[in-house]
Chains A and B, each alone.
Chain A
Amino acid sequence: MSNIKLGLLVSWPTFWTGFPIKLVFALLLLAGHMHPWEGTGFFLLLLVSIPIDIWALGLCARTVFIDRLKVDPQPGLGPNLWIRWAVFSAIALPVIKIIVSEGTGVAKSVTSSIVHSFKEGLYPALGVAEQITLELVMWGTVATGVLILCLLGWLYGLGWLTQSFVKNAKSLDGTEEERASFWDGLRIPADQPLLLTAFTGAGVVLVFVFWALLPSTTPHPHEEYEFISTGPKEEKVEPKKVLKEAEKVLAKAELVVKKLEEEKGGESKDSKDQKTKEPAAKEAQPEKKK
C-alpha cells in the first residue's frame, strides 16, 4: 500500500473518532465561559486532546492493519505512532501553513494586477461581481493546488512513518469478515442493548453537565433591547396619599348621602301632600267617571 493511501486511511477515521470527544470538552469550556481557542481554555483543550488522539490513533490504526493489511500490530501502537506523527506534524503543519499563506498572498497580488490591467486596458466595462469572481477563481485555483500538494506531502510522511509498524506486525489468516469479527470481538461487548444503553447514559449525563453550566440568559444581548413588561403594572403605595384620597372619597360619599337624604325627605313630603290631595281630586272629578 502506498504511503499516501496508508496515511489517509489511518488519519481520516482517527480525526473523526477523536473530534467529537474534543468537541464535548470545547463545548463544556464554552458553557463555562472559557474560550477553547485562547488562553487557559486552549491549553486545557490541548492537554485533553493528547490522550484522546493516542487512543483514537491506536484504535483506527489497528483497525486498518487488521482489516486492510491483514496484520496484527505489536502492542503499544497508539502511543508509539502518536509520538512520531506528533513530532512530524509539529514541524510539517506550520511549514504547510507558511507555504499556503505565502502562495495565496503572491497569487492574490499577481491576480489583482492582471485583472486590473485587463480592466483598464482591454475591458473597462467589467462589473464588480464579475471582477470578484474572476479574481477569486484565479488565485483560488493556485491556492487550492498548493494546499492539495502540501497535504499530499503531509499524508505521505504520515504513511511513511506508519510503514515500519506494518513491517514488524504479525500476519493474520482468514477472510476479511473473520478478521473483522476477531477484531470486533476483542474490543466490543456482544450485548448490544447494554452497549447502546451505556452510550445513551453517557450522553444524558453530558447533557445534564452542559445544561448546568449553560448561562440561562444570553451572553450576547441586543444593544437596543429594553425589556417591556407585559404583565400588570405594579403601583407604588403611598399611605398618606391613599388616606387623603380615601378621605376625599368619604367626604364625597357623605355629600352624596346627604343629598340623597334631602331628596328623599323632599320626596316623602311631596308624597304626603299628594296622598292628601288625591281624595280631593277624586271628589272634584265625579262627572268624568260617569
Chain B
Amino acid sequence: MQKETQPVNQPNPFEKVIEFVDERVGLKTIQAKMMNEPIPGGSRWAYAFGSILLFIFILQVVTGILLMFYYVPSTDHAYDSTQYIIHEVDYGWFLLSYHFWGSSAMVVMVFAHMSQVFLWGAYKKPRELIWLVGLALFGIVMGFGFTGYLLPWDQRAYWATVVGVEIMDKTPIVGDFIARFLKGGPTPGQMTLSRFFVIHVMVLPAALMGLAGLHIFLFRKAGPAGPFRGTPEELKAKTDYFFPRQIWKDIVGMATVFLIICSLAFIEPVVLLEQATPDPGDYHPEPEWYFLFLFQLLRLKIFGGEFGQFMGAMAIPGAFMAFLAVLPFIDTKPERNIFKRPVALIGWIFIMVFILVFTWSAIINREFLD
C-alpha cells in the first residue's frame, strides 16, 4: 500500500491572502524597498523627526475629523459646541486636548527637524528644493496653529486673532488685503470664523498633504545626506539599514511624542475662558506660546511706535524667513561639518537662546500686567 504523503510548505489562509495582495500591489517589493533602505553612516535619533512629524499629522487629522462631528463653525454656536465637546461628548475633553497639544508638538518637531537639517548642512546641493519645500511646510504648520486657535471662540481665541491679524496688517502692499480677507469685515465675526474654519480644515490640510508628498519624493530622489563627518568610504563602512535600527528609533520617537501629548492632555487639558466679546475686560491678549518670543520683542521700547512695530513684527521676521529661503543658494561651500561652519553654529545658538530668553521673559512679564 502506498503511503499518503502530506504536502510540505502548503501556504495557510493568511499567507494566501498576503500572496493575493502581493501579486496585485507588489507588497513584498514595497516592504523590501522601505525596510532595507541603506542609511549611510548608520542610524541616528536625529533622523526620527520627519517620521514623527508625519505620525503627529495623521493623528491630528483623525482627532480633527472626530471633533468636526460636533463642532459648529458659527459665532452663535462655536463656543457652546466646544463646551459641549469638553463636557458632554464621551472622551471629547481628551480628543480636544490631544488635538490642542498635538498642534504644539508639530511646531516643536518642525523646529527640531529644521534645526537638524541646518546643523547637518543637509540643505546644501543637491537638496535645496527639499529645504524650500520644508520652509513652506513650516509656514503651513504655523498657519494651522493660527487658524485653529480662533475656532473655540473664547476670549483667548478672539484676542489672539485680533493681535495676529493686526500684525499681518502691517505688511507693506498686501497687508491690508490679507487682514481684510481674513476678517471679512471691520471686526472679527462670523465671516472671520467661517474663513478660518475653511482654511483650517480644507485649504491647509490639502496644501500640507501635497507639499509633504513632494518633500518625501524629493528626499527619496536625493537620498539621505548622512552624517556631516567622515569620508565616503567610512560612511559606507558604517551603513545601517532602515530595519532594525532606524525603525526602532522612529518607533521609540513616535511613541514618546504620542505619550507626552497624551500626558499633557491629562495634566493641562483645554479649558475655555469666557465667550468671545469685542471687550477684552480683564483679559490681557496673548498669542500662542510659540509666538510669545515675538510678542515680548514688541514690548521693548526700541520697537515702540508704528515704525518700530512694523520692524519687529514684520520686517525682521520676514527678512529672517527670506534669508532661510536663499540660504542654500548663498552658502554654496560643500563643507557640511557644523564644527567647521562657525558662523552657522553661532547663529543657530544665538537664535535658540533668543527664542528661549524672550519666551521666558514673556512668561515673567505676565506678573507685571495688572
B365 close to A (CB within 8 Å): yes
Which residues of A have CB within 8 Å of B240? Answer: 180
A13 part of interface (Cβ distance < 8 Å): yes
B47 at the interface (CB under 8 A from A): no
- Chain A residue with the shortest CB-CB distance to B272: A222
Q: Is the Cβ of B83 less than 8 Å from the Cβ of A133?
A: no
Q: Judge whether A217 and B262 touch: CB under 8 Å.
A: no
| Chain B residues positioned under 8 Å from A23 (CB to CB) | 255-256, 259-260, 263
A211 CA / B247 CA spacing, docked (Å): 26
A217 partner residues in chain B, CB cutoff 8 A: 87-88, 90, 93
Closest to B81 in A: A230
Q: Does B51 contact A (CB under 8 A)?
A: no
Stretch of B137-145, B207-215, B353-361 that contacts chain A: B353-361
Q: C-beta contact mask, A8-35 vs B, less than 8 Å → 1, else 0?
A: 0000110011011001101100110000
Mask for B67-103, Cβ within 8 A of A = 1, else 0? 0000000000000100110111011111000000000
Which of B5-13, B167-175, B296-304, B340-348 touches A?
Answer: B296-304
Q: Which of B84, B299, B301, B357 contacts A136 (CB 8 A)?
A: B357
- Contact residue range for chain B? 35 or more
B230 to chain A, nearest CB (A): 11
Max chain B Cβ within 10 angstroms of own Cβ: one of A19, A125, A133, A196: A133
Tell which of B87, B90, B91, B239 touches A225, judged by Cβ atoms closer than 8 Å. Answer: B87
Q: A133-B361, A188-B244 are in contact. Are A30 and B301 (CB under 8 A)?
A: no
Question: Is B45 at the interface (CB under 8 A from chain A)?
Answer: yes
Give the top 8 A-B pairs by smallest Cβ distance, nearest first.
A218-B93, A23-B259, A129-B299, A20-B255, A216-B90, A20-B256, A30-B266, A188-B244
Q: Which residues of A contact B (CB under 8 A)?
A: 12-13, 16-17, 19-20, 23-24, 26-27, 30-31, 125, 127-130, 132-133, 136-137, 140, 175-177, 180, 184, 188, 192-193, 195-196, 199, 203, 210-211, 214, 216-222, 224-225, 227-228, 230
Sample of 5 further A-B pairs with CB below 8 A, known A13-B45, A216-B91: A129-B301, A175-B237, A193-B31, A219-B269, A228-B80
11 contacts between A and B (CB under 8 A): A127-B299, A132-B364, A132-B365, A136-B357, A136-B361, A177-B238, A177-B239, A210-B262, A216-B91, A219-B269, A227-B87
